[in-house]
Structure formats: C-alpha cells, structure tokens
Amino acid sequence: MKALNVVSQRFLVSAVAALIFAMAPVAASAQDISTSTFQHGTPTVETAVRNAQVVYVEGNDLVLKLENGKVEHLVVPDSDRFTIDGKTVSVKDLTPGTKLTQTITTTTTPRYVNTVRTIKGKVFHVNAPSAVIVSLKDGGNQIFKVPNHAKFIVNGQEKSIFELGKGMSFDATIVTDETEHIVASSKSVVGQAPAPATPALLGVLLFQRSAAVLEPASTPTATVTAEHVWARLPQTGSSAPLIGLVGLLALATSLGFRLVRSKEML
C-alpha cells in the first residue's frame, strides 16, 4: 500500500508585513503587482513502523489487532496494495491471521517565501504607532504592521502614521516573510500469510507409512547343509539311555551263557 500525500502547511515565522512607502507617487499601472521568491531548507525524514494482525476482512472493511492489543477498524480503498509473501494483493485478498508490517516515511521540507507586493489603498483605521488598516482596491480591508521609519506620501506630502486620517489615499510596497512546510508521506505494507490450518481429528487415528517401508526386503538364497541342520537342532537328548540299554543286553547275554552251562553239566 503506497500513497503519496503532499500537504503544504503554512506557519507564519516572521509575519512582517512591512509598509515601505515611496517618496513619490507610484504609477497606477504598477499597483497590485506581487512577486515571490522561494528558498528551500534542509528536509527532515521520520520513519515509523507498526505491526498488526488481520482479525477480520470483508470487502473493503479491515479489522486489525495492533501490538498494544487494541483493535482498529479501517476502510481500505481498492487502490491500496499489500505485499504478502512477495505478492502484491488488495485488501480483499487478505485472510485472517495475516501478519502485517506498515512502514510510514514522512519527509518535511521547509520553504521560505518572501513576497513583495505593491498596492494603492486608502486609510480605513489607524492604530498608531505600529499598525494601519488599509482598504484595498478589491474592496477588502487588511491590517499591516508599520515600521518606525515609515513615511506616507499623501497628495505629494510626507506624513507620519500619526498624521494619517481615514480616507487618505497612498501608495505602498508590502513585504511579507513566511515559512511553508511541504510534507511528503509514503506508506508501504508487507506481510506474511498464516500457515494452512491442521484438519480436526475425526474417528480413529491412523498412520500412513511410506512405500519404501511397506515393501519387503529381498533376501539372498542360502545353501542349507546337514551340518547346518545339525547345528540348528535343539540339544534336548543325552547318551544315558543308550548306555543303559547296552548294559541290559550284556547282562541278558551273561545269564544266557550260565543257563547253557548248567544244562551241559546235568
């Protein structure tokens, strides 16, 4: 949002509307002529930064929450622009939650004006010794400050302010010194749009894994030998039953030999 507003504020620094009166009548063709000279001073620049967050927006109505917590309602024209995440948008494109930063740069330049004006007027009222009210050619009345050394030429005769009377005609040169302040203001607003909102939970919570995790890993084919099988069998048996069986057979054989010898002896 960028706008340029040039305002000329007139501040009277030294309102010296001095009457400088000629020693001879000034020609009528030289009356009511004004010339001005201008001199610019050194400008001053002020920068102000405001941060806010969009609370509500509809059409050109914009509601902001300021840093101090206050809420501010603005009616923003369509011509104003905002720079959001590098893109230029209008107020209608803003969304709640957008953070805005406004930078206002104000440049004030003083301008000194010196105006010289020649007039032909009549005395309306005298406030001696410092001021006189003059009826001008356009019909209006205006008050002027009179320097101490000023002399009025009335009908070819030199007169002081104390000798003036209402209705006397005279010629005068008016010098006015004043100061104007020219103010130029520029505004720019940049912002950051809010992140997408997380959807609300609904029903059971499920997790989706990536395809790389779901695919079974390929295993190389291994050659299985008897030694491998034997090595993998559980060691649950022992040789004690076999030894017992061999002992029983030996005992039975011994008994058989004894029976045979007994029969031979008979």
Q: What share of the chain is helix, strand, coil (3-state, %, to 5)?
A: 15, 45, 35
- Cis bond before residue 220 (omega within 30° of 0): no
The answer on pLDDT for 230 being more than 50 is no
Separation of alpha carbons 16 and 176, rounded Å: 5
Among the listed ranges 90-94, 204-208, 253-257, which one has the minimum average pLDDT value? 204-208
Instruction: Quote the pLDDT of residue 117.
Output: 78
Domains of the chain and any CATH numbers = 13-43+111-183 (no CATH), 44-109+184-192 (2.40.50)
Beta bridge partners of 14: none
Q: In sequence order, which residues have a C-beta less than 8 Å from that of residue 66 and are 6 or more positions away?
A: 50, 51, 52, 72
| Stated pTM of the model | 0.44
Q: How confident is the model over 79-101, as pLDDT tens digits?
A: 888 998 889 999 989 999 999 99
Contact call for residues 52 and 67 (beta carbons, < 8 A): yes
Question: Is the per-residue pLDDT at 217 higher than 60?
Answer: no
Category of 86 on φ-ψ map: left (φ > 0), alpha (ψ -120 to 50) or beta = left
Strand, helix or coil for residue 262: helix
Condensed to tens digits (0 to 9), the pLDDT of residues 96-138 reads: 999 999 898 999 999 888 888 777 888 999 988 888 898 887 7
The one-letter code for the residue type at 205 is L
Give the mean pLDDT of the chain: 75
Distance separating alpha carbons of residues 209 and 230, to the nearest angstrom: 40
Side chain identity at residue 4, one-letter code: L
Asked if 137 contacts 120 with a C-beta cutoff of 8 angstroms, the reply is yes
DSSP 8-state code for residue 15: B
CA pair distance 176, 233, nearest whole angstrom: 120
